[in-house]
Amino acid sequence: MKRIFLKSKIHRASVTEDALDYEGSLGLDEDLMKEADLFPYERVDVYNVTNGERFSTYLVKAEKGSGTVAVLGAAALKARTGDKVIIASYALLDEDEIAFFLPKVVLVDGRNHIKEIK
């Protein structure tokens, strides 16, 4: 049997942009994507700490080192510039992988620059 576990998360990032008139996705700083083991077009769940909204979307790469967390398309109705969000990805694990698996947790500062990786 496979079970779903947290693969990685970016904890309490600040939304830097929201744009409703866009095809839809989450623009994310390439450095944050790399450190959180995320890829363009990968599905993520976004948990808005500011207002309690939750949504799923996919990632698009934003400029490396920019600190960008851009909520684009319909999701812009669920998160606005300045909101704090948690960006999470998940993985399917076999029973024999569970005991050895640890998720990657990326902690950021107020400008979405990496403070710590756990």
Q: Which tokens in the block code for residue 61?
A: 């790469």
Question: Given strand 69-72, what is the order of strands in its sheet?
Answer: 17-19, 69-72, 25-29, 54-62, 43-48, 84-94, 2-14, 104-108, 114-117
Three-class SS state of 76: helix
Is 25 noted as a catalytic residue in this protein? yes
Q: Which of 102, 98, 90 is CA-nearest to residue 45?
A: 90
Q: Of these residues, 8, 14, 58, 89, which one is catalytic?
A: 58
Q: Which entry of 8, 14, 22, 25 is annotated as an active-site residue?
A: 25
CA–CA distance, 97 with 89 (Å, rounded to integer): 17
Q: Is 58 a catalytic residue?
A: yes
Tokens matching residue 57: 């979307």
Known catalytic residues?
A: 25, 58
